[in-house]
Chain A
Amino acid sequence: MATAAPLPELFQERLKSVVAVEFFIQAETERQPVTVLGTVIDDAGTVILPGAAIMPSVAPGQLRDFKIYRPGGTESAAATYLGQDAFTGWHFVRIEEKGRTGLVPVTHWQAMKADPALSDELWGIGLRNKDEDFQPYFLSSRVAIMMNLPQKTVVLGADVAGPGLPVFNAAGELAGLAQPSFGQNFLMFSRNQRGSPVVLVNVEESSVVLLASEVLPHLGRVPKSVTGRPIAWFGAYGLQPMDPEVAKLLKLENQSGVVVSDIMKSSPADEAGLQERDIILAIDGQPLPRLKPDRIVVSYFGQQILRRLPGDTITLSVLRGTANVDLRLKLGDEPKLVREADRRYFEKLGLTVREFLYNDGIIHRASPGTTEGVMVHFIKPGSAVATAGLRSDDWVREIDGVAIKSYTQATEMLAAIEADQHRAEFVLLVSRGGETQVLRVKLN
């Protein structure tokens, strides 16, 4: 093995794989600037960003003006948003062609042949903020613990890289990708408070690293569409891990499982005959692994679904009461997500409504497939509807006494109300937490 280059040299080289990404989330009345860190994954200028960079309810159409900055650079290059991959959670963006010069994909660097071991020293890159030109800096620490969450992850003794940026060993080999950091418990002392507990999360640096063997196989999951589809759908809600004590009592020692809480009618899970209170023990004959903390098995199960495609078939081994049952299940297509819902902002009225989705029906316990009414997505503070007491996430059932049967009907009615100069008021019937209310909106 050739002697590795000195760390400062490696550091300068590896910087070619990292960027800062800036964009705006355009909401109804304001735009929120966001800056996150990303890693370049191929020669086509594709960059991955951590899943937490964008809230799930944000529609792709609201994401504007993606710009890429190099470490220490002041010039920006434009980029396009490609979508989010459901399995990894990563967001993908692509840098315009002229902005790609000098970038090196992270795959160019040799990956570590074996997973890093306890006490191995790793290093990574942090980037300062925009006002400091995203100046890069060096971080390093040693591996403190290895975990399956459910992916192989190491936690280091101290922060080792900006979240979303790669981490290397002394030889410059890729060890993995820094994840958003974990919360840490502190006690806060002040003049008035004696040691009240707080959880602090470092948003600029992280000590949590997803290993290269869990990153590299999935870099090809560039979304085919900005919505991230196709996304496989299982159709059960509220999966809970099986407590080890429960496993012991049920004579399932050394087994892991998830308890099913709620099955959506006519979902794949329902059609396969899964029932509430079933305990899922295995997928396709593979027992669910025992993972710590217990709840990780739920993420594991979710990922087993999301790594598959709609139309794929799986076999679930289930404990129902005292009987073991095998179920064959054909995965469906994830119902429309909030970020994909049609929505429209009525500026004068001061609200955005969006389609009533399958998932809204679950929250409101509506019968499956209900498309009646529209959801309030946004309320402009101080507007007519805000004064009337309308809130976001209210379910509008009637407008002016007319039952709303579709999104189109609702938007047409609201548009007509908004356009009518002589309108003094209108009346909404809304559902909120199972209760209905009649709200009177005074205009002018």
Chain B
Amino acid sequence: MSRGFNRLLDAVVRIDVREIEFNDGAKRITGGVGSGVIISNDGLVLTNAHVVSPQAVEISVTLASLERINAKLVGWDHWTDLALLRIDLEAIKSRRLNFAVADFGDSDDLFVGQTVFAVGTPHGLTRTVTRGIISNNKRYFEDSRGVNGYETGAFNTWLQTDAAINPGNSGGPLVTEDGKVVGINSRGYVGADNLGFAIPAKVARTVAATLVKEGAVTRSYAGIGFRELQDLERFYALSANTGVLVANVDVGSPAAKAGLRAGDVVLTLSGRKVDGRFPEQLPPIQQSIAGLPVGSSVKVGVKRGDQVVELSATTEKLESRVGEEWAFEKWGLTVRKVSRAYARENQLTDATGVVVLGVQPGYPAAEAGLARGDIITKVGSNTIAELARLKELYAGYESKPEPQLVEAQRNRRISLYVIKP
């Protein structure tokens, strides 16, 4: 192998994570294993968002020398399934450890059929190298709950490879023969053979740079659900390679306020022509809105029937469908804040309330009759608009336990429950 490849191997790490889970009505710690790659001399490690999330409480990185060292989360971005860690440099110094830093290659230059290698920790088997080719260099793959229930894939295409990618490979690099990182391995098709996907290095570098600076990637949201036009140009009487279909407009979103409707065809965005004939053309279109500063005005050129109209939408901050999670341990209750996206999916009037993630049998919440999926909207006479409000009320309960009247909705049916000490 090349020198570059050997150096790359010294930059790949195993990542062991312990994180909090709120699923069963209690805070529980679960463990997981993934991979990562060191990308800077100051100890930044790139991995997947589904390997290390903000719920991680302990991150341990195993270097190529098999030495273990702690790391902290710098930031994550579930949309691109990327997370950035920093290893404990003090410890590196005091323990006189060494590591190598990987070089990025240009993922735009990849050609289908090119040989690539995946390096990582599949099923906990540290330092495994598998080989394959680039099977497709522009795979579109959007999943509304692909990263631990969070959305992913709307703003980037993926590299598809037949290099074996198994659970635990996640976060490890996809590299060329000369050891250049061209992607971050992210997922494989469950039950399929040799269908693996990686985030292109170009996306990874941009996101990593933002995470270092800001700890998160802020995106703009307009509320337009784009769909490829494929074969519909004739129906919409469009000239070739123009326009993208609006399949859906989120209720109450900037696009809805601007008057955009499902069935419209978007011809231009901020004056630039849009071509969305095929699914793999959607991520750049979506990114062209997401990449704008929040509060930007987007001019949308729309074809509606025979008319062409220009609408203007002011973007909002893009939010995840997964809200903050919390455990109320004395109640045996774990909840997640209702997000705008969740409210929309479930046709709720607004984002008031918290969703029950789980109840512990025998604890007050379960005894009261609350169950997973209920949306708690009120406690006593207090509307639960924010999770913080419920935390306050819980603190009150902790200092002085008294029966609490809880209002919850299930399938839009309102029920009342009593949580008793």
Interface, chain A (partner B; CB < 8 A):
237-240, 242-243, 245-246, 248-250, 259-262, 276-277, 321, 365, 397-398, 400-401, 425, 427, 429, 433-438, 440
Contact = CB atoms under 8 A, between A and B. Distances in A.
Contacts, number: 85
B403 A436 contact: no
B235 A427 contact: yes
Q: Tell me which of A238, A245, A259, A276 has the highest count of chain B C-beta atoms within 10 A of its own C-beta.
A: A245
Nearest to A424: B234
Contacts of B28: none
B203 interface: no
A394 to B, nearest CB: 13
A276 B414 contact: yes
Interface stretch (B108-116, B187-195, B241-249): B241-249
B405 A246 contact: yes
Nearest to A260: B414
B415 A243 contact: yes
Contacts of B381: 321
B418 A245 contact: yes
Contacts of A277: 407, 414
Contacts of A248: 418
Nearest to B411: A238
Contact of A259 (B232, B403, B416): B416
A432 to B, nearest CB: 10
Given A261-B409, A401-B263, A238 B414 contact: yes
A276 B368 CA distance: 22
Given A246-B416, A246-B417, A401-B305, A436 B345 contact: no
Interface in B192-242: 225, 227, 231-232, 235
Contact of B263 (A250, A260, A262, A429): A429
A439 to B, nearest CB: 10
A438 B263 contact: yes
A398 B262 CA distance: 10
Nearest to A427: B235
Contact of B403 (A238, A249, A398, A429): A249
B125 interface: no
A242 B412 CA distance: 16
Contacts of A397: 262
A243 B418 contact: yes
Contacts of B403: 245, 249
Nearest to B261: A436
B364 to A, nearest CB: 11
B417 A243 contact: yes
Contact of A238 (B225, B369, B412): B412
A261 B414 CA distance: 5
Contact of A262 (B407, B412, B417): B412
Most A-side CB within 10 Å, residue of B231, B368, B418: B418
B344 interface: yes
A401 B236 CA distance: 9
22 contacts: A238-B411, A243-B368, A243-B415, A243-B417, A243-B418, A245-B368, A246-B417, A249-B418, A250-B405, A259-B414, A260-B414, A397-B262, A433-B347, A434-B251, A436-B247, A436-B249, A436-B262, A436-B263, A437-B262, A438-B262, A440-B232, A440-B235
B391 interface: no
B420 interface: yes
Contacts of A429: 262-263
A436 B418 contact: no
A53 B99 CA distance: 74
B344 A434 contact: yes
B404 to A, nearest CB: 9
Interface string B390-421: 00000000000001010101011111111010
B267 to A, nearest CB: 16
B168 to A, nearest CB: 29
A206 B112 CA distance: 67
A240 B347 contact: no
B405 A249 contact: yes
Contacts of B245: 438
A434 B403 CA distance: 37
A437 B412 contact: no
Interface in B145-166: none
A317 B411 CA distance: 26
B420 A259 contact: no
A416 B294 CA distance: 48
Interface centre among B345, B368, B412 (most CB of A within 10 A): B412
Which A-B residue pairs are the 10 nearest by beta carbons? Answer: A436-B262, A238-B413, A245-B418, A261-B414, A246-B416, A240-B415, A434-B347, A429-B263, A261-B413, A435-B248
B100 to A, nearest CB: 48
A379 to B, nearest CB: 20
A250 B403 CA distance: 11
Q: Which of A365, A435, A438, A440 has the most CB of B within 10 A?
A: A438
A248 B409 CA distance: 21
B420 A245 contact: yes
A433 B345 CA distance: 8
A427 B262 contact: no
Nearest to B415: A240
Nearest to B249: A436
Given A259-B415, A262-B412, A440-B231, A365 B347 contact: yes
A261 B374 CA distance: 14
A245 B417 contact: yes
A84 B163 CA distance: 64
B262 A243 contact: no
A427 B232 contact: yes
A47 B305 CA distance: 57
Given A249-B405, A398-B263, A427-B232, A437 B415 contact: no
B407 A435 contact: no
B284 to A, nearest CB: 21
A250 B262 CA distance: 47
Nearest to B377: A277
A238 to B, nearest CB: 4
B418 A246 contact: yes
A17 to B, nearest CB: 41
Nearest to A400: B235
Contacts of A239: 413
Contacts of A434: 251, 344-345, 347
Contact of A240 (B227, B263, B414, B420): B414
A52 to B, nearest CB: 22
Q: Which of A397, A435, A440 gathers the greatest number of chain B CB atoms within 10 Å? A: A435
Nearest to B234: A425
B247 A437 contact: yes
A242 B232 CA distance: 53
Contacts of A249: 403, 405, 418
Contact of B416 (A243, A321, A433): A243
Contacts of B420: 245
